[in-house]
Structures are given as C-alpha cells and as structure tokens.
Amino acid sequence: MDEGTDVTDGIRKGLAGVVVDTTAISRVDPTTSSLLYRGYPVQELAARCSFEQVAWLLWHGELPTAEELAALEARERAGRALHPQVREVVDRCPTTAHPMDVLRTAISCAGALDPDAADDSPRAELAKAERLLAAVPGMVAYDQRRRRGLDVVEPRDDLDHARNFLWTTFGEEPTDVAAEAFRVSMVLYAEHSFNASTFTARVVTSTLADLHSAVVAAVGALKGPLHGGANEAVVRMLDEVGTADAAEAWLDGALADGRKIMGFGHRVYKDGDSRVPTMEASLDRLVAEHDATGTAELYARLAAAMDARKGIKPNLDYPSGPAYRLLGFDTEAFTPLFVASRVVGWTAHVMEQRAANSLIRPLSAYDGPAERHLPGA
Ligand SMILES: CC(=O)SCCNC(=O)CCNC(=O)[C@H](O)C(C)(C)COP(=O)(O)OP(=O)(O)OC[C@H]1O[C@@H](n2cnc3c(N)ncnc32)[C@H](O)[C@@H]1OP(=O)(O)O
Ligand SMILES: O=C([O-])CC(=O)C(=O)O
C-alpha cells in the first residue's frame, strides 16, 4: 500500500494480529494461555527465582551463575540510593501530579545524569539497564513517602530488591507473605513480548535514540488504563462496587453504559491470562494475613459475574491491584510498581532491537480532504 492513497484494504487497526518482528525474550501463547521468559515458564520463575535472577535472564538469555548473580546483586545494592538531583526534581513536582508523571520525570532526569548517556554500546546499554533496575524503586518509594509527609528511608544492603523496595516505602520489614507476594508480582510483571509500552520502547530505539528516551516513552504508554494503568483502575472500580452483594447489579449497569471493566480482557489471551492464577495465590495469602475476606468475596463475585455475562477473564492487573492495596501502597502508586518491574523487559527489548535494528515506520492510508489550495495560490 502506498502512503497517500486511499487504499484501506488490509489495515489492521491497533496492529491487532500483526506480527512485526521476532523476539527471543518471551513467548506469549494464547492457545495454551502460557508465558515463557527465555523458554522458562513464568510460574517456575515466580516460584523459585529472585527478581534479580529474572532480570539477568531477560537481559542475557540464560540464568546467572552464582558469581554473576552475586556481582549483579552487589551492583544493584550499590545503585539504590536516590541521586540528589533526581530527588530535587521529584521534590519540585507538585503532589497533585500523578506518580506516573513524577516517575517519568525522574527517569528522564536520571537519563540526563547517566554517566553513559552518550554511549549506546552494548556494555553501556546494559549498565544503564542495571542502574534503572536499582534506582527506580527508590524513586517510587521516595515519591510515595513525600506524599504521606514522611522522610526518606535509606536502602538496606542486607535486603534483596523486593524486600528493600518494601522497606524503603514503608520503613519497616515486610512479613514473609508480603515480601513473597511482592516478589512474585515483580517477576510476573517483568516481561510480556510486544505489549504497547514495550513496542513503544522499540519504536523509540529504532530511531537510534538512547535507552532512557525509550524507557521514558514506555512509561507514558504504560500509564493508560487500557494497559498498566488498569491496576490502579481496578481498585478504584472495586471501591465503586463496594461489596460482593453489589457486584452483579453494578456490573450489569456498567456494561449497559458501555464501560470497559478494568482488569478484564486482553489483546492476546482470549481464554485467560497465564499469570493470573499465580498472582491470585499470592493475593489469597495476603487476604488471609489481613483477614480481608470482604475483598476476596467481592473479587470473586465480580470475576464470576464477568465470566457469566461476557465470558471475559481477568488479566494480571485484576489480582495485582488488590494485592498492592493489601501491601499498603497508595492506589495511584500501583502503576509505578509495574514500571519498576517492566523496566527490565523494556531494556531487554531495547537491546534486542538495537542489535538487529530497522526503523519502525508503518504506512497510513490517507482519508483527509483531497488536495486543495490557498486562495490565490
Ligand atoms: C497488564 C495489561 O496491560 S493487561 C490489560 C489491562 N487493561 C485492562 O484491564 C482494561 C480493560 N480491558 C480492555 O479495555 C481490553 O480488554 C483490552 C484493551 C485489554 C484489549 O482490548 P482489545 O484486544 O482491543 O479488545 P476489544 O476492546 O476489541 O474487545 C473485544 C470485545 O470484548 C469486549 N471487552 C474486552 N474487554 C472488555 C472489558 N474489560 N470490559 C468490557 N468489555 C470488554 C469489547 O467491548 C469488545 O466487545 P464487542 O466485540 O462487542 O465490541
Ligand atoms: O501484553 C499486553 O498487551 C499487556 C500485558 O499483559 C502486559 O504488558 O503485561
């Protein structure tokens, strides 16, 4: 199809069903509702691996050796402290700004300060990715604490990525149930092939722009409620529904109004998201620890009603939203948690794209006014 013609045959709105490139990073298989990271089922990784191990796997293609893991952990722990200039930039953002806007700004600032900012060699790209793995939790935790009027909590070298994230957010050691649920969510959110934010990162990289530009753009794409913003929207929706007994009537009204039900449906999975059962198991343990049976009943009733009425299943944002609330995060901080995880997948894709690059520039079929001219031209 030539751009500038009015040929519309073959347009795939939203690129639905279009295969745009190969990837060796993850496989999303809707026929089996399964997800592999570099060949490993995500459920196995969630059960047995730290987030740091998964990050290495996604970046390098293999799990780290003990020495490689120890070295990555040391670098991650050394890179956690919030850079004073990033902190200043966060402080200058009003607390009325959405935390995703603040995080997008903080990551952009970190990119400008990065010692390898002008270097896009494979070594430098990996170093930048590792620095983001280490730094993003501190940005998220700091912003949430300042919104609560609380002082910064310094990171702890004796805690892994997930536990330290909770420590710097809440200033207290998480329970094992909380730390496990959070680690599992981080592993499940880390990567999902050519979703909208990852594709955004690849488009930006395809122009040979730098890694931080790609990540900042990806944060913007993730913010929307049809993508990562759904985890925040899910708990707002559950609050609106109120109680389990109200679920069916609320759903009927929402569907009649043509509303999208947050946390349900998926562009690729049509028979359930492979990650949901694993996250639901963690949510169940949090519910038990917090004696939050009302949450569990509402969660189950709404999912059953949605299945009965539309046959549409939950996606990962449905269980992760209530899990993040039980962990104690502010609702509007949920999507930044997704960023802290997905930054690993985005940067793996940035490196894969750059290694075999082709400018991403599709065509469009013009359907605006025919050629016309200014008076007297
Ligand atoms: C981690 C993630 O990013 S997962 C996605 C998180 N996003 C959400 O949870 C937001 C709610 N879900 C949605 O909006 C959609 O399911 C999406 C955007 C995720 C996928 O959308 P698409 O693949 O474009 O599917 P599409 O929107 O065409 O839906 C197909 C049909 O199912 C319906 N449908 C899909 N999801 C929903 C939903 N959540 N609520 C109500 N109806 C839905 C659509 O209305 C449409 O019905 P129709 O054929 O009668 O018009
Ligand atoms: O794959 C998608 O379109 C959205 C998604 O589930 C993710 O990014 O985790």
CATH of the domain at 291: 1.10.230.10
Which residue has a Cα nearest atom 42 of ligand 1?
260
The SS3 call for residue 314 is strand
C-alpha to C-alpha distances, 312 to 188, 196, 214, 277, nearest whole angstrom: 21, 20, 32, 15
Same domain, 94 and 45: yes
Same domain, 64 and 142: yes
Mean pLDDT of 216-232: 98
Assess whether the C-beta atom of 193 lies below 6 angstroms from ligand 1. no
Question: Does the structure's ipTM exceed the value 0.95?
Answer: yes
Same domain, 67 and 146: yes
Tell me the pairing of strands 34-37 and 26-29.
Answer: antiparallel
Assess whether the C-beta atom of 168 lies below 6 angstroms from ligand 2. no
pLDDT at 3 over 60: no
Q: What is the pLDDT of residue 1?
A: 46
Same domain, 59 and 208: yes
Task: Look at residue 20 and tell me if it is in a domain.
Answer: no
Q: What is the pLDDT of residue 146?
A: 97
Check residue 227 and report its DSSP letter. T
Task: Look at residue 190 and tell me if it is in a domain.
Answer: yes
Same domain, 270 and 195: no
Q: What is the CA(297)–ligand 1 centre distance, in A? A: 23
Distance CA(30)–CA(267), nearest Å, equals 10
Distance CA(46)–CA(364), nearest Å, equals 41
Mean pLDDT of 313-322: 98
Task: Look at residue 8 and tell me if it is in a domain.
Answer: no
Say which of 192, 212, 227, 266 is annotated catalytic: 266
Same domain, 314 and 191: no
Q: What is the CA(28)–ligand 2 centre distance, in A? A: 9
Sign of dihedral through CA atoms 209, 215, 220, 225?
A: positive
The SS3 call for residue 37 is strand
Check residue 264 and report its DSSP letter. B
Domain assignment of residue 135, given as a range: 37-223+333-356
Say if residue 8 is exposed, middle or buried (CB neighbours under 10 Å; 0-12, 13-18, 19+).
exposed
Specify the length of the chain in residues.
377
Catalytic residue at 176?
A: no
Distance CA(161)–CA(151), nearest Å, equals 20
Mean pLDDT of 64-78: 98
Q: Which of 302, 295, 301, 340 is nearest to 322 (CA)?
A: 295
**Residue 129 CB contacts under 8 Å (≥ 6 apart), including other chains:** 59, 211, 343, 344, 347, 348, 350, 351
Q: What is the pLDDT of residue 7?
A: 58
Q: Which of 198, 307, 219 is nearest to 263 (CA)?
A: 307
Task: Look at residue 287 and tell me if it is in a domain.
Answer: yes
- Ligand 1 site-directed mutation target among 260, 273, 302, 310, most atoms within 8 Å of CB: 260
Q: Which of 142, 112, 116, 143 is nearest to 129 (CA)?
A: 116
Distance CA(219)–CA(67), nearest Å, equals 32
Whether pTM exceeds 0.95: yes
Same domain, 163 and 204: yes
Which tokens belong to 296?
Answer: 């569990």
pLDDT at 175 over 80: yes
Which tokens belong to 34?
Answer: 């399964």
pLDDT in tens, 260-300: 999 999 999 989 999 999 999 999 999 999 999 999 999 99
pLDDT at 4 over 70: no
With cut-offs at 50, 70 and 90, classify the pLDDT of residue 217. very high
Mean pLDDT of 128-135: 98
Give the Cβ contact number of residue 28 at 10 Å: 21
- Ligand 2 site-directed mutation target among 227, 231, 273, most atoms within 8 Å of CB: 227
Mean pLDDT of 35-47: 98
Same domain, 121 and 200: yes
Task: Look at residue 1 and tell me if it is in a domain.
Answer: no
Which tokens belong to 69?
Answer: 């893991």
With cut-offs at 50, 70 and 90, classify the pLDDT of residue 6. low
Same domain, 131 and 264: no
Distance CA(134)–CA(315), nearest Å, equals 27
Task: Look at residue 82 and tell me if it is in a domain.
Answer: yes
Assess whether the C-beta atom of 227 lies below 6 angstroms from ligand 1. yes
Same domain, 245 and 263: yes
Task: Look at residue 297 and tell me if it is in a domain.
Answer: yes
Distance CA(346)–CA(341), nearest Å, equals 9
**Residue 253: half-sphere exposure toward Cβ, Cα within 13 Å:** 8
pLDDT in tens, 81-131: 999 999 999 999 999 999 999 999 999 999 999 999 999 999 999 999 999
- φ/ψ of residue 26, rounded to 5: -150, 160
Mean pLDDT of 320-337: 98
Domains held by the chain: number: 2
